[in-house]
Structures are given as C-alpha cells and as structure tokens.
Structure 1
C-alpha cells in the first residue's frame, strides 16, 4: 500500500530513505488521471472504428504541458493495442471513475465495497478471503498478508516476485522472506535496494531473470550488483526519447532482452553495439534480443553490416562475422509466429519479428 503512516513490525518500506513520504496525490489528481486515460482510449477507438459509446460525444484529451506529452504517448500506444484489450482498458477507466461520481452527486455506490483475495488453481477457485472495506487499506493488507504468509517458515518459494512501484510500503508479517530466482522491479533501483535485501533470501542471488522498467535511468543503476550479475536482463523502455543501446554496450549480462520500446532504435545504434561486441571479446552464449515491427529494419541492418565489415557472410535472414578465438558473431531475425506465445509477451503487441545478436562457437 502507499501510505506515510508509521511502519509496523514486519513492514518493508520501498520509499527513498532520504526522501519525503510518497503520496499517490490528491483525489482531484487521481480522478484527472482516470479521466484522461478514458478520453485517450475513447479517442483511439473512435479514430480506428469511427464509433463512440452510445450517447457519448468525443472529448479531446488535455494537450497542455505534461498532460499533453503523456496523452500523446498514451494515444500512440493505444492506436497499436488490440481492440479487445483497448476496450478493456476503457472499461477499467470508467469503473475507476464511478466512486468519484458517486461522492460528487451523493449517490450510493452500485456495489458493496470489499477487499478480496481470490486463490485459483487450474482455473478453479480454491479460496476467497474477503474483508468489508470499513478499515484503512493498509490495515486490511496487513491482515490479509498475515493470514496468507504468517506462521510459515522463512524462505517462501516463489517462481517470480514483482516489487512495488512509486515508493510503496509492503505490509508483511514479521520474519517474512521469500526465495525466488526471477524478479521484476519498480521504477527506481536505489529506492528499493534496502527493501530487497530485507525481503529476499540470500540464496536468490544471482538472479536468473531481472525485469527492469526504465525511465531515463542513469548508467550507474545498471552497475548495481543485482542488475550486473543477473543471468538474464529484460529491459522495458517506456521513454520515447531515450536511446538505451549505448548503455547496453556496458552490460556484462549473458542474455539481454529489449522488450517494449516506444522509440524506434536507429540502425546506427544497432551497428554501434555490434562494433562494440567485436572489440570486447564477449563470451560464447551471449545473446541480446530486440523486438522489431518492420522486417525492413532487420534487412537494412544486415545490409549495413555486409557493406561495412570485412569477411561478413550472409544468408537470407542471418549474417555472421568471425571474432577470433574460434567464435563468431551472428546477427539474425526470426518471425514471431504465435501472438499468444511467451516470446510475444516479452515484446509489444505490434512486434512481428525478433532480432538477435549472439556469440557462438565456430
């Protein structure tokens, strides 16, 4: 939960140790966020279908200052999102606005408010734990988590753990620790590093997989041991003006995936990374993957490599260059054939190809 209340025993804070307590913002700001989301989603649906929900007029999203920049980015993403998912996003935004409308017009909510945990196994519901929403949210979360995790031996096994974002506080029972080899973090590495050490068992490191959303991250963040030592690093770049590839040249991870990115990576940035690999003696098995939208991007890159590097050998979708030490660098691309595959989920919905750069034995 997000709260500046006093920490209880067992609670783990992911707030910056020297920063002010994080607050989600006023109700006015929260309502504004949901309203702008809905305007963007409905505009995208109108632009794509020429239709709006019955009886509704098109409302233009806010174009001023930061709202304008955020909405422009959100609209671009919405135009590329499958319609069924976009409709779900719009429905969620409408649902999020209902409490504000009820309070404004002094109406009773069309539902009874509960905080609910549902446990499912093989698509069958095993347990529903529900609390009436008559207490503070962080108190309810403490009760739920104590019910779920309290009294268990330390070192709870988990396939994957997703850490909170925006300086949250986890309301956990005393002695809670988890064992996992896959971690997904929030937005600021330095903010949650102390919390990670309290929460994760030492046997978790090095991680097998670390998923890392970035927002103009400094290079120092990528030099933290938890990032540098992860066997596989999956990077999500949501900044349209941020070219991540220069930082990729400094990474020592054996496998790196650039997942969703709102910025088309320039051909020269790919080629610069390849030149760096040829000079840095990367170990066998090193592999970087990039989702690409147009096959022409990959074709043009292979053409540039063939024209600029000596002894490059090309086939239809692959080019290789000897690197010495009985190894070679391969650059190739393959189609994403199944839109429901795990591989597709690592990339944006509109990525049709995966470009790979790897070092293999001759």
Structure 2
C-alpha cells in the first residue's frame, strides 16, 4: 500500500490543532513544511523569555556557554567570555534590532577584570593555602594550636570543611588565570562552545552543540528567529514577563494574549510586542507617567487595575480607556466626592450599552454614600430596595430577564443593598449597585453599568 501525501489544506488543519512544541520540532527537522507551518497561526498556553531561554507551554529551551578544559573537564558557565577568559556580564551586552529590554536601568554591571578583583582572588587563595597547610600539620604528636597561628581574618573561615576550603582554593586559582593570560597576552585557558538543551518535567536533554563563533546573546537571537520570525499570528493564552532580562526576539515579533498580568514599569516594553489582549491586569510598580495611554492598554476588552493615583489622574485615565469592563481599585483612598467624579469622568465618553465600571472602595460607608450622592447629581429613574432573601421573587425574575442573568452583584451580603438607575443630562442611563467581595484588597466595591445611551 502506497503512502498518500498529505494535501496542503489538510496539513494546515492538522498543524492548527497540534501542540506548539511539536510543530516547532517538526519545522526544524522537516524544512519542506516550514513555510506551511509558519503560515498557520501558532497557539500556546504560556510563553516566556529570559536572557538565555524561551519557555513554550511546559517545555524550556535553553542555550548556555560551556568551558572545555584541556584535561577533559567540561563546566557550564552561562556567561560569555572575552579572549583572555574574563566573564562578560549579561547586563553589558548590547541591544540588537527587535530586542525588548526589561532591564530596570538601575542595576550595576559588575566587571570581572578589575585590579581590585584580582587582589581579592589572590588574598582568598593565599588564606585558603594557609589554613589548609595548618590542617595538614594536625597529625598525631603535633602540638601546633590555632592560637599559635591565629589572625583576625581567620574568623571568616571557622567551621568550613577541608573539602570546601579546597574548592575555594581551586575557584580562586581559576579566577586568576584570565589575569595571567591578559598580562602575557595569552589565549583563554579553555575552549568554549554553546549548547542547546531542552528541559521538561525537571529533566534536561541535550539537543545541539554549536561552535563559539558568536556570543551567547547572538545565538539566542538566532534561535528565537528560527522559532518566531515571519509568523503572521502568535496567540498566547497567558504570557509571562520576567524582569531584568532582554528578550532577543525577531524584528516585528507580535503576539495577542488572552490574559496578561503586568506591572506599570513593564508596560512600555510590553507594548512593543503585544497586538491585543482580552483581560489585562495592571499592578503598581514605579512612577510611570501616563502609562494608560499605550494602545494595547486602552483597547483591552477587560481591564483590572490596582494603582496609586491621584483623583485627577484617575479621572483622566478612565476617560482614556475603551475597555468594555473596567475594574479599578485605587490604593489611595478617595473621598465620596472623588469617587462620584470618577463615575462621571468614565461616563463623559460615549460607551456601548453593557459597559461596566467597578470601583474598589475602602469601607462600607462609602459603598452606600457614593450611590446617594450620585442621586443628587443625576436624575433618578428607579430605586430597587434589596433585603437579601426578603426580595420579592417577581422583582428578581424581572431583573433576571432584563439583565440576562447578570445578578452576581447581589450574591454576597445582599442585606440593605440598593440598585439605583440614573440618567445624566446627556441622556445616558446607568445602574449603580454595591457589593461585598472576598478579595480583601477590594472588599467593598460599586458596579456601574451603562443601560441606555
């Protein structure tokens, strides 16, 4: 029986339902299908990057530099090396076209080739030798005591085992070799190569070994280019963004996210690679002016915000957002008057019917006072008194039919809650009601919903 080739459309359908890692491995091993594979939208549950890794779902791909010594020892290093063998810190590597930096900007790049560091290694080596020599003399019949050789610096080495001291001695000696190579213009005392490994369920598997003809960050860039370049759509259910790393992604890399959690300081970097997001959670984390003006923030379908903003900034922010659902909790308590201004600011922009604004409040009193003040500022259309189980079934049924089962706001602590329907001067009608929720950071809150424009 002859094997029948898979038709183009059939292959696209098969690829569409495959796990992202299976697709990527097929594309690497079978160049003939690479163009078709990249034409099909790539979907994954989770995606994260670091300086040396990319994690797709539960599989992590990692590139590392290894040192290969003449005696046969092979040791992982992680960092790049210069021609004498000095480690090159990640923080000093340059940004390439397309790279996205999540470096904080205030971290210090620690050099490994300074005179002060050489002196420190020499001191440690000398001290380890002295203590190891003393230990070696502790043979039967020898009366030499610590007090006979004691120096103040020895207190730092009390309790350290002989094996550990030998390791410290070897480490100091190894760190001094690049200084010797630089002093005599010698090549580094080991060869390097880059290894690509894949990790899953705690187990690492070797995939490929590359000659050290380019720096590690350049190899990571090339690997990510193979995985993600020229893809029209990358859809991620839950991207994870790690701070203090550079994402070596291809030029033009874009993805859409179902749910995304970010800190304010990350938004400017994330905005360069996010096309759209369904649910966006933003938490405080540094003073970043007007972070809410980024396109992907304004257009998120559902927006959840925890931040410390002034009342004026909060009003400006709410006018900017286009999201259908906004859940806003200002960690700085606002007055009843300021919370009313938030609602009016949100209403000042025409929104589609069904749009919702949830405002977190710091106490029960404001949860009751804000609706009362709003009634004095707008025309009252209807008031619904609610007393938990005493609510008439007919009223509940009417609301259920009218609001299409969206009665979750009355599920907890229904006693003495009110639903108030109001109309602004522009004709927009809203419904306001309070709720007690289990989230202690937003225990009391109000829900404002556009009923009619």
- TM superposition score normalised by structure 1: 0.51
Kindly state the Cα deviation for residue 251 of structure 1 after the two structures are TM-superposed: 2.0
Residue 170 of structure 1 pairs with residue 247 of structure 2: yes
Distance in 2 (CA, whole Å) between partners of 1:271 and 1:312 is: 18
In structure 2, which of residues 322, 333, 358 is the aligned counterpart of residue 264 of structure 1?
A: 333
> Any conservation in 2 of the 1:185–1:211 contact (CA below 8 Å)?
yes
* Change beyond 3 A, Cα 1:130–1:307: farther
Residue 293 of structure 1 contacts residue 351 of structure 1 at CA under 8 Å; is this kept in 2? yes
Which of 147, 159, 171 is equivalent to 2:237?
A: 159
Contact 2:102/2:243, CA 8 A, preserved across alignment: no
The runs of 5 or more residues in structure 1 that have no matched partner are 28-101, 109-115, 120-124, 132-137
Which residue matches 1:47?
A: none
1:318 aligns to what?
Answer: 419
Structure 1 SS opposite 2:341:
helix
| Aligned-pair CA distance for 1:332 | 1.1
| Aligned match of 2:264 | 187
What residue number does 2:79 align with? none
| CA offset digits 1:53-106 (Å, max 9, x no partner) | xxxxxxxxxxxxxxxxxxxxxxxxxxxxxxxxxxxxxxxxxxxxxxxxx99997
Give the CA deviation at 1:226.
Answer: 2.1
Deviation at 1:176, TM superposition (A): 6.7
Aligned counterpart in structure 2 of residue 242 of structure 1, from 304, 310, 313: 310
Alignment of 1:30-179 (within 5 A): 125=201, 127-129=202-204, 150=227, 154=231, 155-165=233-243, 168-171=245-248, 178-179=255-256
- After TM superposition, the structure 1 = structure 2 runs for residues 186-335 of structure 1, keeping only pairs within 5 Å, are 186-188=263-265, 191-192=268-269, 196-197=271-272, 199-200=273-274, 204-205=275-276, 207-214=277-284, 215-219=286-290, 221-237=291-307, 239=308, 242-243=310-311, 244-259=313-328, 261-277=330-346, 279-311=348-380, 313-315=382-384, 316-323=417-424, 328-335=429-436
CA 1:10/1:278 → structure 2, altered by over 3 Å: closer, same or farther? closer
- Give me the CA root mean square deviation: 4.6
Change over 3 Å in CA distance of 1:5–1:264 after alignment to 2: same
Q: Distance in 1 between matches of 2:91 and 2:216?
A: 13
Find out whether 1:355 has 2:446 as its counterpart: yes
Assess, with a 3 A threshold, how the Cα gap between structure 1 residues 151 and 192 changes in structure 2: closer, same or farther. closer
Report SS of the residue matched to 1:254. Answer: coil
CA distance in 2, matches of 1:151, 1:277: 39
Equivalent-residue separation in structure 2 for 1:234 and 1:294 (angstroms): 20
> For 2:264, what is the secondary structure of its paired residue?
coil
How far off is 1:357 after superposition?
1.3
CA contact (8 A) 1:321 1:330 kept: yes
Higher Cα Rg, which structure: 2
Label 1:190 to 1:105 Cα distance change in 2 as closer, same or farther (>3 A).
Answer: farther
Shift of the alpha carbon at 1:295? 2.1
Query: How many Å apart are 1:329 and its aligned residue?
Result: 0.9
- Give the Å deviation of 1:359: 0.3
| TM-score (norm: length of structure 2) | 0.42
For the residue of structure 2 that corresponds to 1:158, the secondary structure is: strand
The 8 Å contact of residues 282 and 305 in structure 2, kept in 1 or not, is answered as yes
CA-CA distance at 1:264 after TM superposition: 1.4
Deviation at 1:158, TM superposition (A): 1.6
Secondary structure of the equivalent of 2:448?
strand
Q: Is the 8 A contact 1:288 1:357 kept in 2?
A: yes
Residues 191 and 252 from structure 1, CA distance in 2 versus in 1: closer, same or farther, beyond 3 angstroms?
Answer: closer
* SS, match of residue 4 in structure 1: helix
Contact 2:383–2:421 (CA under 8 A) maintained in structure 1: yes
Choose between structure 1 and 2: higher strand proportion.
Answer: 2
CA gap of 1:350–1:361, structure 2 versus 1, over 3 A, is: same
